[in-house]
Amino acid sequence: MGETVVKLDNLVKRYGELIALDHFSLEIKEGEIFGLLGPNGSGKTTTINCLLSLLAYDKGSIEIFGKKMTPTSYDIKQQIGIIMQDVAVFDELTVYENIDYFCGLYIHDKAKRKQYVEEAIAFVGLEDFVRFRPKKLSGGLLRRLNIACGIAHKPRLIILDEPTVAVDPQSRNKILEGIAELNRNGATVIYTSHYMEEVEQLCTQIAIMDKGRKIAEGTKDELKRMIKNTETVTIEILELPDAVRSEIENLPHVYETAYIDDKFTVRCSGGRHNLIRILDVLRQNDLSFGRVYTELPTLNDVFLEITGKSLRDKED
Amino acid sequence: MFLHNLKYELCCSLRVKDLIIWLILFPMFLGTVFKIAFGSIYEKVDSFSAIPAAVVEVQEDPALHQVLDSLTEGEDALLDVQYVSADEADALLRDDKVKGILHADGRLSLSVTDEGFEQTMLRTFAEQYNANRTVITDCAMNDPAAVPAVVESLRAEWKPVTDLPLSDGNPNYMVVYFTNLLAMVAMYGSITGLHITIQNQGNLSKLGARKCCSPTPKSISLCASLLGSMLVQSVCMVIAVSFLHFILKIDFGSRLGMVYLTSVVGGILGLAFGFWIGSIGRFQTGTKTGICFCVSMFCCFCSGLMVGNMKMIIARFAPWFNKINPAALITDSLYYLNIDSDYSRWSGAMITMAVMTVVLILLGFIISRRKKYASL
């Protein structure tokens, strides 16, 4: 990986008594797709807003491209593209005009801007909608317009704050492919999302934060190695006596079981041949079963295990 | 960069439906309603009407009859007299069917039960008649040959009603409702002004946040938005004045060009007012919009849009408020332009409006620019 693009050092942000960011540090290298994960209220959006100098912070420092980031760091802002969680476009302008307007805030040369705008339109697949006003677009198309407005000026650093919220699978796929392509073209990407499978599919480096602190960081494989769960076995079974369930719970490497809606789930931590041992117990007790499947841990498991399963009702 | 911002500011402003409705269509509608509602009153010229009077003669006086006949004839008759008995005259006066009783017994004397314009006119007439009669009687006794010349001279001097215009303007007080309407359109500009702040501050809108992330300095973005909105607001003011004057035939006086200028300056003042309100405090967009709308409507109310004599009431109890109320300043300057023959009071109001505009824009600008962080 290349040079450090973003460096957050011991960032502290307080809202009165509430500590939104608690000595939060982060380093993002050039060319990475960096996933920032965390439950609601964990401080993801606060981090992004501090990073963009939309929000003042109490302590710490932020450097982007090796320079201190301030609200008047126009040379740094020139190289950043931002795609907000909410669509931020002008309802009164057409698709083309919206992209041209935002691109024009960065690119002053008309000919170059025209080329960039057309490339952005092609990139997000909005060629057939250039004369449409945003209100005439579907949710997915609107998200794509939002992205086009953020990336038309070809930024070196792209920040996407949950860009696929309320988007259908087809549009989501198109957006994810687009982000990967932007990265292949040389952009460094910071990506926040609640959709674990997106982050797992897209990000090369992931940080999980909770209560304003970074609680884990690494590649997806490194993160998976951090958790207890190594394998989840699920068996469809109509009847499961308590004695049999206890016998399985006492098998080596089994640390958690659940029996809900005729589905028996066994979580194992390390070890080999876990599935064979579980099935052996069922056969020995003359219990018949239906489909059996086994899964390796997902990022979702990592996330839930690290951040806990209790509901978060605070908005980030 | 500035022209790029300005171009899209104009594009957006001209396509906002709310702007077309509230700044163009609504004033047209309200102006038409005013015209229909006040039409009959507006059309009626406040011309002088003959004063009803009773004449009680002790003995018939042909000379008096001749004089009274000359004053009761024609469209511009001064008097409307009835020759009645003393009792009938008292009854007519009691019932307010006549304004006074002229008793003729060689000289004229007047009985009235009230004081007012009509009574003063009757008294003036009676005094003038008695004086002239004395002059003619003396002349007849001393130089009878000169009587016709004296009578002719006195007749030429006797002109009880003279049309003496105070200015070239339209004295009809109903025009005030239409100047108030123009003040309302100008004050609606405050919503446009507020919109400028909303769209440029990161904590008030997502668009503002996106703009704050761009390398365009906030000062350039704000200047472009202000200039674009001022142009659009000015066009709306010109349309409003033109509609009232050319379509509804409202007479704003002889200085229409100045009416356009005053309305445009008023519109920019309204816009500056909204821009300033938008920049102060840490309220959310909805709250600021509500405050701006309420304050604008309150200013219009105090300037007499809803209750005609409200400005007079405020002038009596809090005269300072009329001097800082933007809506009152706009209506006042339009009023001065219509009524006054010179520009002294109008210039004063215009200077006040211009100073207020500059101060409000500068304050809004400084406050907005000082907010380096959007503080989301």
Q: Is the pLDDT of residue A74 over 90?
A: yes
CA distance B85 to B56: 6
- Whether B149 and B26 share a structural domain: no
Q: Is the pLDDT of residue A315 over 50?
A: no
Q: Do B12 and A88 touch (CB under 8 A)?
A: no
Q: Do B373 and A106 touch (CB under 8 A)?
A: no
- Residue B170's pLDDT is 63
Shortest Cα–Cα distance, B10 to chain A (Å): 11
What separation in angstroms does the CA of A178 have from each of A203, B101, B157? 13, 99, 97
**Burial (0-12, 13-18, 19+ Cβ within 10 Å), A253:** middle
Chain A interface, mutation test: which of B198, B214, B372, most A Cβ atoms within 10 Å?
B214
Contact between B98 and B52 under an 8 Å Cβ cutoff? The reply is: yes
Report the alpha-carbon angle A182-A185-A191, nearest 5.
Answer: 35
Q: Do A88 and B207 touch (CB under 8 A)?
A: yes
CA distance B186 to B195: 15
Q: Do B373 and A53 touch (CB under 8 A)?
A: yes
Report the alpha-carbon angle A80-A81-A83, nearest 5.
Answer: 145
Q: Domain boundary at B157, B192, B225, which? A: B157
Contact between B55 and B104 under an 8 Å Cβ cutoff? The reply is: yes
CA-CA-CA-CA torsion for B209, B210, B213, B216, nearest 10 degrees? -110
CA distance A90 to A98: 6
- Whether B61 and B93 share a structural domain: yes
**Considering only alpha carbons, which residue of chain B is nearest residue A151?**
B214
Name which residue leads in pLDDT, A312 or B214.
B214
- Whether B124 and B194 share a structural domain: no
- Whether B257 and B286 share a structural domain: yes
Contact between A112 and A188 under an 8 Å Cβ cutoff? The reply is: no
Q: Do B217 and A74 touch (CB under 8 A)?
A: yes
- Whether B234 and B308 share a structural domain: yes
Residue B55 neighbours by CB under 8 Å, 6+ apart: B64, B68, B81, B82, B83, B84, B89, B101, B102, B104
Q: Do A55 and B376 touch (CB under 8 A)?
A: yes
Chain A interface, mutation test: which of B8, B206, B213, most A Cβ atoms within 10 Å?
B213
CA distance A148 to A42: 28
Shortest Cα–Cα distance, A1 to chain B (Å): 27
- Residue B372's pLDDT is 60
Tokens encoding A237:
């079974």
Q: Do B215 and A105 touch (CB under 8 A)?
A: yes
Chain B interface, mutation test: which of A47, A49, A54, most B Cβ atoms within 10 Å?
A54
Residues of chain A contacting B202 with CB distance shorter than 8 Å: 54
Q: Is the pLDDT of residue A219 over 70?
A: yes
- Whether B87 and B215 share a structural domain: no
- Whether B217 and B124 share a structural domain: no
CA distance A183 to B39: 70
A258 touches chain B (CB under 8 A): no
Paired sense of beta strands A33-37 and A205-210, if any: parallel
For the domain made up of A228-296, the CATH class stated in words is alpha beta
Given A52, A71, A90, which is nearest B12 (Cβ)? Answer: A90
- Whether B95 and B36 share a structural domain: no
Report the alpha-carbon angle B54-B58-B59, nearest 5.
Answer: 110
- Other Cβ atoms less than 10 A from the Cβ of B336: the count is 23
Q: Do B210 and A104 touch (CB under 8 A)?
A: no
Q: Domain boundary at B157, B189, B215, which? A: B157
Q: Which residues of chain B have pLDDT under 50?
A: 45
Given B11, B206, B217, which is nearest A88 (Cβ)? Answer: B206
Residue A283 neighbours by CB under 8 Å, 6+ apart: none
Residues of chain B contacting A84 with CB distance shorter than 8 Å: 206, 209-210
Q: Do B11 and A72 touch (CB under 8 A)?
A: no
Nearest to B13 by CA among A243, A302, A274, A93: A93
Given B15, B214, B374, which is nearest A55 (Cβ)? Answer: B374
- Other Cβ atoms less than 10 A from the Cβ of B219: the count is 12
CATH number of the domain that residue B78 is part of: 3.40.190
**CATH 3.30.70.100 spans which residues of chain A?**
228-296
Size of interface A-B (CB pairs under 8 A): 82
Residue A100 neighbours by CB under 8 Å, 6+ apart: A113, A114, A117
Burial A156-174 (b: 16+ CB within 10 A, else e): bbbbbbbbbeebeeebbeb
Q: Is the pLDDT of residue A263 over 70?
A: yes
Q: Do A84 and B206 touch (CB under 8 A)?
A: yes
Write the single-letter amino acid at A222.
E
Given B4, B213, B373, which is nearest A104 (Cβ)? Answer: B4
Residues of chain B contacting A74 with CB distance shorter than 8 Å: 215-217
- Residue B171's pLDDT is 61
Report the alpha-carbon angle B337-B340-B342, nearest 5.
Answer: 90
Nearest to A32 by CA among A200, A175, A203: A203
pLDDT digits (tens, 9 = 90+) for A11-38: 999 998 899 999 999 999 999 999 998 8
**Considering only alpha carbons, which residue of chain B is nearest residue A47?**
B376
Q: Do A54 and B376 touch (CB under 8 A)?
A: yes
Chain B interface, mutation test: which of A48, A52, A161, most B Cβ atoms within 10 Å?
A52
Q: Do A80 and B213 touch (CB under 8 A)?
A: yes
Interface of B with A (CB under 8 A): 1, 4-5, 8, 11-12, 15-16, 202, 205-207, 209-217, 372-376
A292 touches chain B (CB under 8 A): no
A71 touches chain B (CB under 8 A): yes
- Whether B230 and B361 share a structural domain: yes
Q: Do A106 and B214 touch (CB under 8 A)?
A: yes
Residues of chain A contacting B216 with CB distance shorter than 8 Å: 74, 105
What separation in angstroms does the CA of B68 have from each of A130, A142, B81, B129? 85, 86, 8, 10
Q: Is residue B376 part of a domain?
A: no
Q: What sign does the CA torsion over B170, B173, B174, B176 have?
A: positive
**CATH 3.40.50.300 spans which residues of chain A?**
4-224
- Residue A314's pLDDT is 47
In percent, how much of chain A has pLDDT > 90? 63
SS (H, E, C) chain B: CHHHHHHHHHHHHHHCHHHHHHHHHHHHHHHHHHHHHHHHHHHCCCCCCCEEEEEEECCCCHHHHHHHHHHHCCCCCCEEEEECCHHHHHHHHHCCCCCEEEEECCCEEEECCCCCHHHHHHHHHHHHHHHHHHHHHHHHHHCHHHHHHHHHHHHHHCCCCCCCCCCCCCCCCCHHHHHHHHHHHHHHHHHHHHHHHHHHCCCCCHHHHHHHCCCCCHHHHHHHHHHHHHHHHHHHHHHHHHHHHHHCCCCCCCCHHHHHHHHHHHHHHHHHHHHHHHHCCCCCHHHHHHHHHHHHHHHHHHCCCCCCCHHHHHHHHCHHHHHHCHHHHHHHHHHHHHHCCCCHHHHHHHHHHHHHHHHHHHHHHHHHHHCCCCCC
Q: Is residue B146 part of a domain?
A: yes
What separation in angstroms does the CA of A114 have from each of A42, A77, A117, A242, B224? 40, 21, 5, 70, 22
* Rg value, chain B, Cα: 31
Q: Is the pLDDT of residue A316 over 50?
A: no
- Whether B252 and B281 share a structural domain: yes
Nearest to B197 by CA among B18, B371, B324, B73: B371
Chain centroid to Cα B137, Å, comes to 51
Orientation angle between helical segments B285-302 and B326-339, nearest 10 degrees: 30
Shortest Cα–Cα distance, A55 to chain B (Å): 5
Identify the domain containing residue B219 by its residue range. Answer: 2-43+172-370
- In the stretch 139-198 of chain A, residues with CB closer than 8 A to chain B read 149
Tokens encoding B314:
């405020």
A296 touches chain B (CB under 8 A): no
Paired sense of beta strands A254-260 and A263-268, if any: antiparallel
The CATH number given to A4-224 is 3.40.50.300
What is the average pLDDT score of chain A?
Answer: 90
Q: Is residue B39 part of a domain?
A: yes
Shortest Cα–Cα distance, A53 to chain B (Å): 6
Shortest Cα–Cα distance, B279 to chain A (Å): 17
**Considering only alpha carbons, which residue of chain A is nearest residue B374?**
A54
- Other Cβ atoms less than 10 A from the Cβ of B123: the count is 15
- How many domains are contained in chain B? 2
Q: Is residue B91 part of a domain?
A: yes
What separation in angstroms does the CA of A146 have from each of A53, B178, B206, B328? 20, 45, 11, 45
Q: Do A90 and B216 touch (CB under 8 A)?
A: no
CA distance B55 to B58: 10
- Whether B12 and B140 share a structural domain: no
**Considering only alpha carbons, which residue of chain B is nearest residue A92?**
B12
Q: Is the pLDDT of residue A279 over 90?
A: yes
* Range in A94-108, A255-269, B196-210, B307-321 the model is least confident about: B307-321
- Whether B235 and B251 share a structural domain: yes
Q: Is residue B92 part of a domain?
A: yes
What is the pTM (predicted TM-score) of this model?
A: 0.74
- In which residue are the tokens 């990407």 written? A189
Contact between B248 and B32 under an 8 Å Cβ cutoff? The reply is: yes
